[in-house]
């Protein structure tokens, strides 16, 4: 009798263990929850607001994808994914995936895999709405004051390759650049047009700034995931295709960037399939 009871207890324990394992979901997910990496400081793209809400195009895209993977919005745990930490978060399994203005390039693909792209951004310039500095093309930045966010390569790329006489003005962050632009301490700010549009669309900034509309680079945003996870990549790509077809992609773009009159590109073709 004791032996039968012990065998029954062992079988019950094994069944419970298998059930818990099945519910776990693997890297970045546990007990029906999923952890997703986003930016916390990019209005219109990925922002954690003062009241603890998460907003932006990447947030909407990631929420849609998570739902297609079987996770309700209430079960998403958002994790800050600064540019320098994205690959580490993915490799360590701290997140299931990253959607954080994450440009697909060969250097990053050596460390992680991507799904997508789901958006095509370009490096652009933000100027004052009245364009009193007369900046119509990148060469017009020569002798003009260009905001350079500490640690950013965008402004340096302009100076090195496109407008060598541009006067770089270092600031601690984009918000400081916007204040400098409004106060005429600088004449332009440069980074991805999606990020610039997000700032310009903020309620406190509406009508003050505009994008010049240059395309100084191509920045295809992808969803980063652990290298070799073909199953997850294929599922995310399927979700992204559905998002485009059912109109959600357009809705998300207009919701987050519409106030900036941003001439965005159509949803790009998905290329990260192998």
- Partnered with residue 48 across adjacent β-strands are 54
Nearest one of 251, 254, 249, 255 to 268, comparing CA atoms: 249
Q: What mean pLDDT value characterizes the chain? A: 88
Annotation: CATH topology of 123-211: D-Maltodextrin-Binding Protein; domain 2 (3.40.190)
Whether the predicted pLDDT of 92 surpasses 80: yes
- Tens digits of per-residue pLDDT, 57-71? 999 999 999 999 999
Whether the predicted pLDDT of 159 surpasses 80: yes
Q: Would you say the CATH fold of 123-211 matches that of 28-120+221-260?
A: yes
Q: Break the chain into its structural domains and give their ranges.
A: 28-120+221-260, 123-211
- Tens digits of per-residue pLDDT, 96-146? 999 999 999 999 999 999 999 999 999 999 999 998 889 999 999 999 999
The Cα 166–Cα 203 span in angstroms is 30
Whether the predicted pLDDT of 5 surpasses 50: no
pTM above 0.85, yes or no: no
Contact 90, 112 (CB under 8 A): yes
The pLDDT of residue 12: 45
The Cα 107–Cα 75 span in angstroms is 32
Contact 169, 186 (CB under 8 A): yes
- The domain at 28-120+221-260 falls in which architecture? 3-Layer(aba) Sandwich (3.40)
- Tens digits of per-residue pLDDT, 184-208? 999 999 999 999 999 998 989 999 9
């Amino acid at each position: 009798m004791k032996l039968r009871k012990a065998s029954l207890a062992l079988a019950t324990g094994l069944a419970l263990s298998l059930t818990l394992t099945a519910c776990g979901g693997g890297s970045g997910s546990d007990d029906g929850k999923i952890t997703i990496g986003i930016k916390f400081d990019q209005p219109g793209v990925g922002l954690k607001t003062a009241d603890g809400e998460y907003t932006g195009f990447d947030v909407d895209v990631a929420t849609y994808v998570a739902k297609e993977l079987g996770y309700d919005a209430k079960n998403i745990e958002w994790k800050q994914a600064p540019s320098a930490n994205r690959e580490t978060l993915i490799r360590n399994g701290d997140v299931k995936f990253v959607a954080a203005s994450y440009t697909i390039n060969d250097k990053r693909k050596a460390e992680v895999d991507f799904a997508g792209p789901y958006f095509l951004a370009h490096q652009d310039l933000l100027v004052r709405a009245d364009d009193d500095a007369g900046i119509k093309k990148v060469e017009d930045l020569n002798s003009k004051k260009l905001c350079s966010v500490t640690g950013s390569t965008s402004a340096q790329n302009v100076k090195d390759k496109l407008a060598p006489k541009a006067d770089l003005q270092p600031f601690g962050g984009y918000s400081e650049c916007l204040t400098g632009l409004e106060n005429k301490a600088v004449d332009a700010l440069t980074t991805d047009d999606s990020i610039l549009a997000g700032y310009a669309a903020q309620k406190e900034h509406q009508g003050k700034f505009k994008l010049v509309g240059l395309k100084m680079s191509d920045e295809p945003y992808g969803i980063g995931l652990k290298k070799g996870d073909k199953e997850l990549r294929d599922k995310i790509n399927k979700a992204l295709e559905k998002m485009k077809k059912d109109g959600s992609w357009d809705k998300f773009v207009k919701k987050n960037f519409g106030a900036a009159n941003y001439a965005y590109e159509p949803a790009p073709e998905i290329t990260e399939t192998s």
